[in-house]
């Protein structure tokens, strides 16, 4: 079957997560937390085909307000295709891009009000949901931190490419932002290694902590009776 993400056609089949379809095809849907249902960067608007998708999960109900649910809001990391049909999705970033490029002032005000309403009303339940999942062992905080650190780079690149497609005169600032994001990832790698004493190396990064760590050699100490 074919589904449409931001009006582009992609192959999919029942049982697929919407986020997996997007990642496989490098479609414009974010996933900073790696699909753990924490960051909401994979939020999408379902324009058509809600009946072809799985029921809303407890994670979605915790994070998505009634207004955004009425607008077709879903989290791609929580939503599976359950049957074939016409499915059309619009990412949050694409929705905002179209509002801005269309100079839709009333639309932008309405968009901002809805997002503000969602943050104000869903923050307590969203935080509570994360805490409950941590306590139940459904979320590994260390792994989640690693996923977020690894997701910053791709997210910055995706945002940069999207901006460049529409505002080519911003090439310089976008490059600075992308380089800054890489610096954040490098710093995150160093910090985690300092705290844990471990060896966390993220793709495309270097860890000064591990590079500067002294080499530890095994030394045998012999006494009159025993060797240690």
Give residue-wise pLDDT tens across range 28-59.
Answer: 787 788 778 888 889 999 999 999 999 999 99
Q: Clarify whether residues 106 and 20 are in a common domain.
A: yes
85 lies in some domain: yes
Letter string b/e over residues 163-197, b meaning 16 or more CB atoms within 10 A of that residue's CB: beeeeeeeeeebeeeeeebeeebbebbbebbeeee
Q: Clarify whether residues 93 and 200 are in a common domain.
A: no
The full length of the chain comes to: 228
Give residue-wise pLDDT tens across range 92-139.
Answer: 888 888 888 887 788 778 878 787 878 778 788 888 888 888 888 887
180 lies in some domain: yes
What total of structural domains would you count in the chain?
2
60 lies in some domain: yes
Q: Clarify whether residues 104 and 153 are in a common domain.
A: no
DSSP 54-94: PPPPHHHHHHS-HHHHHTTEEETTT-BB-S-S-EEEEEHHH
The reported pLDDT for the residue numbered 195 is 45
Mean of the per-residue pLDDT values of the chain: 74
147 lies in some domain: yes
221 lies in some domain: no
The reported pLDDT for the residue numbered 186 is 55
The reported pLDDT for the residue numbered 3 is 96
1-5, 60-64, 123-127, 177-181: least confidently modelled range: 177-181
Residue 79 pLDDT > 80, yes or no? yes
pTM exceeds 0.85:
no
The rounded distance, in Å, linking the Cα atoms of 90 and 96 is: 10
The reported pLDDT for the residue numbered 122 is 79
Residue 169 pLDDT > 50, yes or no? no
The reported pLDDT for the residue numbered 215 is 44
Q: Clarify whether residues 112 and 199 are in a common domain.
A: no
Residue 145 pLDDT > 90, yes or no? no
Q: Clarify whether residues 133 and 166 are in a common domain.
A: no
Q: Clarify whether residues 122 and 145 are in a common domain.
A: no
Residue range(s) defining the domain that contains residue 177 = 140-210
165 lies in some domain: yes
Q: Clarify whether residues 101 and 196 are in a common domain.
A: no
216 lies in some domain: no
Q: Clarify whether residues 105 and 164 are in a common domain.
A: no
Q: Show which of 92, 108, 139 is a domain's final residue.
A: 139
pLDDT confidence of 8, banded at 50, 70, 90? very high
Q: Clarify whether residues 206 and 186 are in a common domain.
A: yes
Give residue-wise pLDDT tens across range 192-221.
Answer: 454 444 554 444 455 555 555 454 445 455
If one counts every other C-beta atom within 10 angstroms of the C-beta of residue 47, the result is: 16
Q: Clarify whether residues 164 and 78 are in a common domain.
A: no
Q: Clarify whether residues 115 and 159 are in a common domain.
A: no
Residue 224 pLDDT > 90, yes or no? no
Q: Clarify whether residues 124 and 204 are in a common domain.
A: no
223 lies in some domain: no
Q: Show which of 89, 119, 139 is a domain's final residue.
A: 139
Classify residue 102 as exposed, middle or buried by CB count within 10 Å of its CB (0-12, 13-18, 19+). exposed
Q: Is 31 helix (H, G, I), strand (E, B) or coil?
A: coil
Share of the chain above pLDDT 70, in %: 62
At 90, which CATH number?
3.10.20.30
Q: Show which of 108, 139, 170 is a domain's final residue.
A: 139
């Amino acid at each position: 079957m074919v589904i449409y993400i931001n009006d582009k056609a992609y192959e999919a089949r029942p049982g697929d997560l919407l986020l997996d379809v997007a990642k496989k095809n490098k479609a414009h849907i974010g996933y900073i937390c790696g699909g753990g249902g924490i960051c909401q960067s994979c939020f999408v608007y379902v324009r058509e085909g809600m009946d072809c998708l799985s029921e809303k999960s407890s994670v979605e109900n915790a994070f998505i307000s009634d207004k955004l649910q009425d607008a077709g809001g879903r989290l791609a990391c929580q939503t599976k295709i359950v049957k074939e049909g016409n499915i059309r999705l619009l990412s949050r970033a694409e929705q905002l891009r179209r509002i801005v490029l269309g100079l839709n002032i009333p639309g932008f005000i309405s968009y901002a009000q809805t997002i503000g309403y969602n943050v104000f009303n869903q923050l307590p339940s969203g935080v509570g949901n994360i805490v409950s999942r941590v306590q139940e062992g459904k979320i590994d905080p260390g792994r989640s931190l690693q996923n977020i650190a690894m997701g910053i780079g791709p997210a910055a690149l995706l945002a940069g490419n999207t901006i460049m497609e529409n505002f080519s005169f911003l090439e310089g600032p976008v490059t600075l932002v992308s380089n800054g994001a890489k610096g954040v990832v490098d710093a995150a790698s160093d910090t985690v290694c300092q705290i844990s004493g471990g060896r966390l190396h993220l793709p495309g990064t270097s860890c000064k902590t591990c590079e500067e760590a002294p080499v530890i050699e095994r030394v045998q100490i012999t006494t009159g009776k025993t060797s240690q």
